[in-house]
Amino acid sequence: MYEGNPVDLRMEKILSADGIFDDSTRQCRVRKYDPEEDFIYLELMEDKLEAISLDAKYRCYISTRTELLYCTGVVKERYCQEDRNLLKFRIENGFYNVYEGRKMTKRA
């Protein structure tokens, strides 16, 4: 459903006491969306995997042809596969439309 769409990933809050907040925007692309489990698999385009914290809450902006959506969540896994840097992002509380500020329903 969102496969291939560009993503901006931004740290929203650090969860660990000794973590360092990073206000950079990371460029990603949706590889796979799993609505049953509420996961998005993202390909990190330019940065190294170590730039992504497993102890932080992120906001994920997805640009589609017709709208700009966002969701919040945490990165559960980061790994390399076939020379690609991939992230397993756990969605919390569904998607929201940036311009309308209202919750979107899950789509199959």
Report the alpha-carbon distance of residue 91 to residue 36 in Å, rounded. 11
Q: Would you kindly state where each structural domain of the chain is located, as residue ranges?
A: 6-97
107: pLDDT strictly greater than 50: no
Q: Indicate the average pLDDT of the chain.
A: 90
Q: What backbone phi and psi angles, to 5 degrees, belong to 104?
A: -95, 150
So what's the pLDDT on residue 55?
94
Domain 6-97 has CATH 3.30.70: no
Closest CA to 51 of 31, 75, 16, 34: 75
pLDDT tens for residues 44-96? Answer: 999 899 999 999 999 999 998 888 999 999 999 999 998 999 999 999 999 99
